[in-house]
Amino acid sequence: MLFLAVAAAFVASLIFTPLVIKLAFRIGAVDHPNYRKVHATVMPRIGGLAIFGAFLVGYFILRPEDEHAIGIFIGALIIIVTGFLDDMFDITAKAKLAGQLTAAILVVTWGGLQIDFINLPLLGQFDFGYLSIPITIIWIIGITNAINLIDGLDGLAAGVSTIALLSITVMAIIMGNVFVAATAAILAASSLGFLFFNFHPAKIFMGDTGALFLGFMISVLALLGFKNVAVVSLIIPIIMLGVPISDTFFAIVRRIRMKQPISAPDKSHLHHCLLRTGFSHRQTVLIIYGLAILFGVAAVLFSQATVWGAILLIIVMLIVIELFVEIIGLAGSNYRPLLNLVRLIGK
């Protein structure tokens, strides 16, 4: 039955996306070129509706049961409406945040999903206590926006989201969480079908309708899949979502260093930096796909590693990420502490 649901979601996405393209032009839900964007023509931008519709097809064929399902589903509806309104009318950042906050609070209160603790190698378990609810809300909103931030090139957000969802599926199977594995697999199939129309050169953008929906679902499924795993808790989803989390983190670092508002837009995200180094549009997207796959594999290895193996993996990952960030200038062209240290030692 799972195979049927996944296949149905994929086919539905292939059918729905051309229909959404026509709808977008008809209702004026289009994205116009400007100095911050890489496309040169007017593009339809409510592709998230096709992903959401395809997901519903697969979900209702399988109907996976879980106590959190209703809360997650209603939260997703709120996110879809929020993203659609932004794609149509360019609503304010505060209005968009209000929609995300409402969805996150609903999942936490009605759905009962919370991050209760984090378990760090050697340091042991750290219980969040009264902070569990605000930390959970921050996580959901943070990952939701992280996926939105990387949605800057054809096929980028859809591809990275698909890889993250497949990683979640594999990990959920290992952990024995049927609901998360099934839901993530159906959503991955929906996103993959959309990618046929969204990969460079794209015929449609997912817009905030899609990016916020995928980010919201990934954030919730990542927590739901691993929240009761005492050995790893929050570490696995952090590693698994390394690409959007790293891009968002260094965007914040970059803006603080430049004395700019954290929410200020710029053209220095991961994909912008790779483009500036000389990679083509398609090469840049494929490189980021590769990074996303590496993070997914690292998450699986981390879950199976010993304590010292997990510590070594984290140290190696942090060093590699820092070097990569400094080489491509993700935190700013003059941010090179580790490279400067290497040069100093080499003298």
247, β-bridge pairs:
none
Show the CA angle centred on residue 157, arms to residues 166 and 44, nearest 5°: 130
Are 111 and 71 in contact, with CB atoms under 8 Å apart?
A: yes
The answer to whether the Cα torsion of 238, 328, 152, 85 is positive or negative is: positive
* Residue from 197, 179, 242, 189 nearest 214 by CA: 189
Measured distance CA(103)–CA(32) in Å, rounded: 29
What single-letter amino acid sits at 75? G
Q: Under a CB-based contact definition with an 8 Å cutoff, are residues 150 and 212 in contact?
A: no
Annotated binding site for Mg(2+): 148, 208
Task: Please name every residue paired with 117 in a beta bridge, in sequence order, or none if there are none.
Answer: 127
User: What is the torsional sign of CA 239, 291, 221, 229?
Assistant: negative
DSSP-H helix ranges across the chain: 2-27, 48-62, 69-89, 93-109, 132-149, 156-175, 178-198, 207-226, 235-240, 242-257, 270-276, 281-304, 307-328, 337-346
Q: What single DSSP character describes residue 44?
A: E
Q: Which residues are annotated as a binding site?
A: 148, 208
Helix (H, G, I), strand (E, B) or coil at 108: helix
| Residue-level length of the chain | 347
89 CB neighbour count, 10 Å cutoff: 11
Cα angle 315-320-324, degrees, rounded to a multiple of 5: 150
